[in-house]
Amino acid sequence: MYLKTIQLRQFRNYQEQRVDFSAPKTILVGNNAQGKSNLLEAVELLATLRSHRNSRDRDLIKESELVGQITATVERQNGVSDLSITLRRNGRRSVALNSETLRRQLDFLGVLNAVEFSSLDLDLVRGGPEQRRHWLDTLLIQLEPIYAYILQQYNQVLRQRNAFLKRNLESASKNEAQELALWNVQLATTGSRVARRRSRAVERLAPIAQAWHSSISGSTEILEMKYAPNVPLEQNEPEQVQQAFLAKLETREVAEQHQGTTLVGPHRDEIELTINQTPARSYGSQGQQRTLVLALKLAELKLIEEVVGEAPLLLLDDVLAELDLNRQNQLLDAIQDRFQTLITTTHLGSFDSQWLKSSQILSVQAGRIFSPE
């Protein structure tokens, strides 16, 4: 797939900016805080309707404006599509595909696919389980857009169940016990859907990440990636997972009523990363942790390509310069010209000259993008 053009209106620090992509690789060069990451963020929103930086819509809209917009033209094997996202300060978003406003945001997903790699991704190793869940969920949304809906349903039930538990702290009248039983069934049904999909995704991702990791580290390190669901998934049959879910809820009932919050479910899952049998967080140097993140990102690219049948975009936000030459080359070899790649950097010095020759280079300055003289 190929992103041909993108247009930003009142988005972040851009007033009105169109970019035409003319090569498989585009390098965006500029000083800090000029708008490079903002452009990649716009592409990420088109692919996932989510932002790496977890921003609220009102932060995405240009200061003092009410509405912001991202539009783009994407070329795929089966034709050309126009995408558009309109952001409003009051938080109501609308999305359109080929100029037709879509009722369900879900139908917007899957037209453009992208993998983002930024320094924030080091949190995949160093951060808490929430970061890893968020990462896996974003990947799943691209692998099967229906997952966006499944996750939203789960989160909605979870919020309502939490509110119910809070309202009824410590009490358990007969009516309330009945209502709780209903919430439990809903939580188990929606939660099992989330957990089974996460499990499947990790199963497919883990061997690819392990192979990349071994290749980048020169076979000295073995990466293991394991899904550690909060509700055990001994069997992958929906019914059995739901039963296990309900059984665990029963064992935690007293604790949940005491704490007024849901203690069971995929919002407490973990994705375990170990290197040579040591938790990745406590293993080795920053460089080694970077190797791990790089392997995860390359695995994401490959898995999306496999599932979707076309190569996703790769968004490299200021990370190339942070990789040593060996890792840079591994990455560049893996990309070649197969993946359209947008790269941000503050200086071109660290790029291979061959690379520079075959890339489109654009300058970014105070919310304006232009070809350097």
Ligand X SMILES: Nc1ncnc2c1ncn2[C@@H]1O[C@H](COP(=O)(O)OP(=O)(O)OP(=O)(O)O)[C@@H](O)[C@H]1O
**Rg for the chain (alpha carbons), in Å?**
22
- C-alpha 256/C-alpha 51 separation (Å) is 32
Q: Which is nearer to ligand X, 16 or 59 (CB)?
A: 59
Q: Is 22 among the annotated ligand-binding positions?
A: no
Site pattern 57..76 for ligand X (x: CB under 6 A): --x-xxx-------------
The phi and psi torsions of 252 (rounded to 5 degrees) equal: -105, 10
Rounded to the nearest 10°, the torsion over CA 41, 45, 49, 50 is -10
Contacting residue, 13, 168, 243, 288, with ligand X by CB under 6 A: 13
Q: Which is nearer to ligand X, 52 or 193 (CB)?
A: 52
Task: For residue 118, give the nearest of 63, 68, 51 by alpha carbon.
Answer: 51
For tokens 């809820």, what's the residue? 249
When asked if residue 118 is in the footprint of ligand X (CB under 6 A), the reply is no
When asked if residue 52 is in the footprint of ligand X (CB under 6 A), the reply is no
Q: Which is nearer to ligand X, 63 or 333 (CB)?
A: 63
The helix (H) or strand (E) run that includes residue 246 is helix 238-251
When asked if residue 12 is in the footprint of ligand X (CB under 6 A), the reply is yes
Q: Is 230 among the annotated ligand-binding positions?
A: no
Q: Is 236 among the annotated ligand-binding positions?
A: no
| Binding to ligand X, residues 19-48 (CB under 6 A) | 30, 32-38
Q: State both tokens at 314.
A: 């790769």
Contacting residue, 7, 71, 344, 359, with ligand X by CB under 6 A: 344
The helix (H) or strand (E) run that includes residue 156 is helix 146-167
The phi and psi torsions of 342 (rounded to 5 degrees) equal: -110, 125
| Binding to ligand X, residues 299-318 (CB under 6 A) | 318
Q: Which is nearer to ligand X, 214 or 360 (CB)?
A: 360
CA atoms within 13 A on the CB side of 246: 13
Least Å from the CB of residue 121 to ligand X:
14
**First and final C-alpha spacing in the chain:** 29
Least Å from the CB of residue 118 to ligand X:
9
Q: Which is nearer to ligand X, 206 or 364 (CB)?
A: 364
Contact positions vs ligand X (CB under 6 A): 12-13, 30, 32-38, 59, 61-63, 318, 344, 346, 364
